[in-house]
Amino acid sequence: MFDLKKTAMVLAILSSMAGAVPACADDGIVRHSAGKFPIASSIEVPAGASTIYLSGMGAPVQDRKADPHTLAAYGDTQAQTYAALLRIQDELKKLGLGMGDVVQMHIYMAEDPKLGTLDFDGMMKAYTQFYGTDRQPDLPVRSAFGVAHLANPGWLVEIEVTAVRMPAK
């Protein structure tokens, strides 16, 4: 006989576990959710995958009239993060990969002199245009670091990523 109380309890348990169930892509990569925050808490890459390390990239010059060693040439943290992620996307495309192949990301941020602090919110506004969307649900593990300075004095952001390529089936 159908027991409404037991059915409701089972549904409640299953729905509470939904966020804990790892997402396994068709390629065999398992991404464990970090909850509502748009990063993975951990990722499992199966044997046989190639690992690709991209060097740290900052934004290219946005304003060619500005001194290329100044903030004016590159924009604020949001603009720089977006531009750096576009560069990474382009580099991955040259390798036959996409942003969904990124499994790890390190974001190095310097203090925005106009704000007097790191602009984590600005970085996140740009980051979430690439990750955590219906277009790109495959989230990387990610760390964001505050650093004293970056190599280019006009940069507020430098991003490095690790991607994987699964063997052809």
> What are the tens digits of pLDDT across the range 61-111?
999 999 988 899 999 999 999 999 999 999 999 999 999 999 999 999 999
Handedness of CA 131, 21, 19, 121 (dihedral sign): negative
Give residue-wise pLDDT tens across range 124-159.
999 999 998 777 788 999 999 999 999 999 999 999
The DSSP call for residue 145 is E
Domain architecture of the chain: domains with CATH: 4-165 (3.30.1330.40)
Full-model pTM: 0.81
